[in-house]
Amino acid sequence: MNDMQKKLGHYFSYPLYEGNIATIIAPSLILSLFIFLSQKFASLLGSYGVIPGLLLSIAIICFSMDYLRQIVKSAAKGETQPPEWNIDRIDLEEMFRGVIPLAVSSFEIFFIIIPVNFLISLSMDTAFWNQFVISWKLQVLMPFVVLYPVNLLSYSIFDDFIIVRLFRTLSKTALLKIFTIHTLSFYVLIHVILLPIWKNFFMILLSFGILFYLFQIWGYSLGRIYYRDANFLNEG
């Protein structure tokens, strides 16, 4: 087995190390159960019956995103095994810690798409909203998949979003990897999320399990790029 095969084998086995598969199975089971119950309550109680299960499902997703942040931070320190999933306390601050890079990326996109969309609308002589609807994927999704990996990496390492600090640490090679491989792979994962696969208990269970498995690999490789590049520059 050559080095490339060993490397790929390590990455794909990373989320399954020892008992870490529970970090995939447990949230998948809980999420699918909450969504399934929401659907049942909705048929009995109407739209209000969806709310409890929906809020609990959002909480599970938030905690899962925080674990993704922990993986990036762990890999950026050079650790080759997944971190123990620690939930220090159950409160809003802890729950939304993993969503902060997502929120910041969305906020940045807002200030990108408004002037861009306005200029496009003027040049094409079309209504602002109509232009946004026509090209929403290009204007929202593309900036998001570029900004989110960088914001996630910066927040996981520095606990802030001063991207200049990240750029000073990484070489052009590492930045190129982040803006190509990780952007493209994250774009694919986002499109998988948008597929109509969230319809029943078993499909939700399988879909979220596979997605979270792939996201763990994605987050680990993102952190490893920082670790290898930062050490290489320090040695140089």
Q: Name the phi and psi angles at 162, rounded to 5.
A: -80, 90
- Tokens for 4, please give them: 């490339």
Taking only the tens place, the pLDDT of each residue in 56-73 is: 888 888 888 899 999 999
Instruction: Between 34 and 139, name the one with better pLDDT.
Output: 34
Q: Name the phi and psi angles at 77, rounded to 5.
A: -90, -5
Local confidence band at 219 (pLDDT 50, 70, 90 cut-offs)? very high
Taking only the tens place, the pLDDT of each residue in 115-160 is: 776 666 666 666 655 655 556 666 667 777 778 888 898 899 888 8
Domain ranges of the chain: 3-235
Has this prediction a pTM greater than 0.75? yes
- Tokens for 115, please give them: 């002037």
List the one residue out of 2, 5, 7, 3 whose CA is nearest residue 220: 7
Q: Is the pLDDT of residue 236 over 50?
A: no
